[in-house]
Structure 1
């Protein structure tokens, strides 16, 4: 006799799991008082069986085949925490394993019909160019960032800064924390009036505008997102700093200028591919003058054992196509191999967890507007993505590192004094 869906759930996770599954076949499993997951039709089970883990659950939810009662679509953090903590598979005994095998065989999981929010399949991506080639990189960036500037204004807030903030106090607002982050970067780079700054992967120009207005530099930013570049140039003109600030729409590899005093790379490294690190850091070093500094700020893994392996789960499919992470050790090693002298590194992962929580709160506050701008499916993706990222940063599954380095001269002059001119955050 074949198991029901509820019975199969109990065989895998146990009847005491803090989740209650209510299935389309009329069966139930898990705790009667647990979080209720409703599988409304066989497609929900097919998504879960065809893609076990977060990808299958996300597909079922985004397709409307899985309904989670009481979940805040804009900020599903508490639901994700319960699911992550409570759905731990048990080791089945021989009898349970045989029954579960018959259950899976009887349902014959097949390639599912994907929700429209999912990114292109690997075959379609291959047709659009090699991983991290210029064409494919531009397409991947456009997929994520060219939703609409108005959507990002609702989620990110007035700073329009889509990178980890740094909270100087527990009471600091998101806007204060983003400004403090830019100040931290500027101090680490030793920015002073008259210097030239290059900001690669500059987003909506937050670092460019902050550095020009508060540190008196001349700054060039580059982004692959046309939407970002358009918004940034308008903001620059509104600030009255167009004579000293520019944001270009283009590939950072097309920057021909050299002799910059400082280079900031805030949230770009995740997109370029680990195998491309040597060429990337070599290019940035060539843009600097001797004694010039580089600040590289990016999401990292907590180890260096899985370099170059892209995520195949929910985030890679729905959020960041072709994204790759590695540990801070790999980043430091490549920077040093390409001629940089690494002077300081800092892990801000707790700050990124809080940043994601603040973005979730903004999404919830402006939920109706975001749904109207991006569609319900895309808005749900963002809710899952931000809440899941917050949880991952909290649990040290991913980190955020700033690495500061110098193009030290052939005579060994680094440009640093005995007393650094920046104050690292206290975490």
Structure 2
């Protein structure tokens, strides 16, 4: 959608040239601006259009990827052509923002626009309150992202309602096939058998819980901090006639009742709990397992030790408030020190890129319905973050790791076969 064309009452350098310097001059990208300026090949496959001087004021307030994202969400910047292609053409800015020296240069050039057009950030930004990673604040952060609209997620995620990395058995597999394959991979790594008890922490809409119950006869409990997810998941359990085996509760994992389980799956939770809580988290999960019980931790990680653990500013403000990513080595060490023996680990980052590709295709196919459900701004947030994260996984800026651990028996035996169970690994 095109924003309102405005001509500024200020005098400055041609806008397209200023932005082209900081975004890079890839042959795939053209920049056009409201002042009539343009930079880049006329036949470029994608064009970034600056439709309002308000976009430049935002870039003075946040002269990096956050300012660009704010302008995109509010339609002050738009893209003609494929958004993923545009982000890939300016990959350094997409994944690492604009270098500090360039940010200062950009802010100085655009200061006249800030003086005339400055405004507060869009109201879609998350502002959780309270102590970082307290139960109350974590509940707010999770609600911001997951309690948007179950219908919206149905349009984006498809019938599986699974919001975590799928595993594609081959390049031709559909998203639904890949999500079912992921759940079966987790079940095989945990060696699930009829009658076992599974705890799924951060269960989302209950996909793993339902799979374990329906395909393996497992008694499964899932917990989530999202009320919307819990309501949808429990209703789907009842609809499928799995109520005698499966349950989804709206519950913080720190408030789990006493009980011992044969296996624990944690699929996409560790990113939300914070570095300060990682050690206690794995100790708590280890305490929930019987001797010989297994835990599978599946989460997004950073490939290198981070200078700071918070996610990208756009992701933190609009998508995953308070999210923190660790290197996989940090998580392996934490699991090991909590009493797990690490038995297997693998990086599935290419699979997450494919998953995000397919979610993005669902969003584009259902764009009108998605906008009707959550509004244009929020739909643009999801479009931007899925395209940017797809690029991040492809270029190894972020990774997705599954780590399998076991709580040893008293005699220090693991109960593992000499090779992997069911050919899973």
State the TM-score, normalized to the length of structure 2.
0.89
Cα distance in structure 2, aligned partners of 1:100 and 1:370: 35
Residues 294 and 11 from structure 1, CA distance in 2 versus in 1: closer, same or farther, beyond 3 angstroms? closer
Aligned pair partner of 2:48 in 37, 43, 49? 37
CA contact (8 A) 2:65 2:97 kept: no
Q: 1:77 aligned to 2:78?
A: no
Structure 1 unaligned runs (5+)? none
C-alpha displacement of 1:194 = 1.0
Alignment of 1:263-412 (within 5 A): 263-306=264-307, 309-412=309-412
Cα distance in structure 1, aligned partners of 2:282 and 2:98: 45
Alignment-derived partner of residue 413 in structure 1: 413
C-alpha displacement of 1:185 = 0.4
Q: 1:48 aligned to 2:54?
A: no
Alignment-derived partner of residue 190 in structure 2: 189
CA contact (8 A) 1:14 1:30 kept: no
Cα distance in structure 1, aligned partners of 2:107 and 2:174: 52
Cα distance in structure 1, aligned partners of 2:210 and 2:64: 42
Deviation by residue 1:193-213 (Cα, 9 ceiling, x = unmatched): 111100000111111111011
Q: 1:423 aligned to 2:403?
A: no
Cα distance in structure 1, aligned partners of 2:346 and 2:152: 31
Residues 171 and 410 from structure 1, CA distance in 2 versus in 1: closer, same or farther, beyond 3 angstroms? same
CA contact (8 A) 2:275 2:324 kept: yes
Alignment-derived partner of residue 174 in structure 2: 173
Alignment-derived partner of residue 140 in structure 2: 139
Q: CA RMSD in A?
A: 2.7
CA contact (8 A) 2:28 2:86 kept: no
Alignment-derived partner of residue 109 in structure 2: 103
Residues 293 and 46 from structure 1, CA distance in 2 versus in 1: closer, same or farther, beyond 3 angstroms? same
CA contact (8 A) 2:65 2:98 kept: no
Deviation by residue 1:251-286 (Cα, 9 ceiling, x = unmatched): 111112322000000000010001110010011011
C-alpha displacement of 1:23 = 2.8
Aligned length: 411
Alignment-derived partner of residue 8 in structure 1: 18
Name the SS for the 2:75 alignment partner: coil
CA contact (8 A) 1:304 1:328 kept: no
Cα distance in structure 2, aligned partners of 1:266 and 1:97: 37
Aligned pair partner of 1:57 in 68, 77, 81? 68
CA contact (8 A) 2:26 2:90 kept: no
Cα distance in structure 2, aligned partners of 1:81 and 1:163: 23
Structure 2 unaligned runs (5+)? 1-10
C-alpha displacement of 1:41 = 2.8
C-alpha displacement of 1:4 = 3.3
Residues 102 and 373 from structure 1, CA distance in 2 versus in 1: closer, same or farther, beyond 3 angstroms? closer
State the TM-score, normalized to the length of structure 1.
0.89
Alignment-derived partner of residue 155 in structure 1: 156
Deviation by residue 1:16-74 (Cα, 9 ceiling, x = unmatched): 76533333334333444444333233211111232122211111111222232x235xx
C-alpha displacement of 1:165 = 0.5
CA contact (8 A) 2:225 2:251 kept: yes
CA contact (8 A) 2:200 2:209 kept: yes
